[in-house]
Amino acid sequence: RFVAEMQDLGMAVDLSHASERAFWDVAEITKRPIMAGHSNSKAVCDNPRNLTDEQFLALIELGGVAGLNLCPDFLNESGGAGIEDIIRHAEHFLSLGGERSLCLGGDLDGIDTAPKGIKGIQDYDKIYEAMLRRNYPESLVRDIFYNNLMRFSEAAL
C-alpha cells in the first residue's frame, strides 16, 4: 500500500538502500517504473548494496533505471576506484541490454571520497570522455548522462 500511495502522489520509488527481498517485493507490486538511483553491479563488485543481474534485468523490464554510484567501495573491492571502474560497471549493465536503463547516480553527497580523477560533478565530463574513447556512440553516452533519467521521470512521476 505504501508503494502505491507514493506512486499515486507522483513520487519515484528508489530502491538503492533496500534489501534484495524488499526490491523483489516492490518489483512485484509496482504500477510504475522503479529505480535504483545509485547502485552498481554486484557481478563486477560483490557489495551487498550493488544489484544482481536479475535485479537489473527486472528494472529493464519495468522501464526503470539504475544510476552508476561513484562510491569507491561500491566500484571495486579494494576501494581504490577510478574512472575505469565506473566504465566496467557501465559495460556490464550494457551487456545485459541496459542501454535505456542506465544513468548516472553519483551519490556524491553521500560519500567521503570519490573515485580517482573525480572531485565532484564538475568532473563528470571525464566519465563522458572515457566512454567516448571506449567507442560508445555519443547518442548512448547522452542517454546515460541525461535521456534515460528524463524518460524514467516522465513515466514514473
- At residue 65, the pLDDT reads 99
Domains, the chain, ordered by start = 2-156 (3.20.20.140)
- At residue 111, the pLDDT reads 87
Mean pLDDT, range 76-96, rounded to an integer:
96
Percent of the chain with pLDDT over 90: 92
Mean per-residue pLDDT of the chain: 96
Percent of the chain with pLDDT over 70: 100
Show the DSSP H helices in the chain as ranges.
2-8, 20-29, 53-61, 72-75, 83-95, 124-133, 138-142, 148-156
What are the grid coordinates assigned to 80, written together?
581504490
- Residue 35 to residues 55, 63, 82, 93: CA-CA distances in angstroms? 10, 9, 24, 14
pLDDT band at 110 (very low <50, low <70, confident <90, very high): confident
What lies within 8 Å, CB to CB, of 29 at 6+ separation is: 3, 4
26/126 Cα distance (integer angstroms) = 35
Sheet holding 35-36, edge to edge: 35-36, 65-68, 102-104
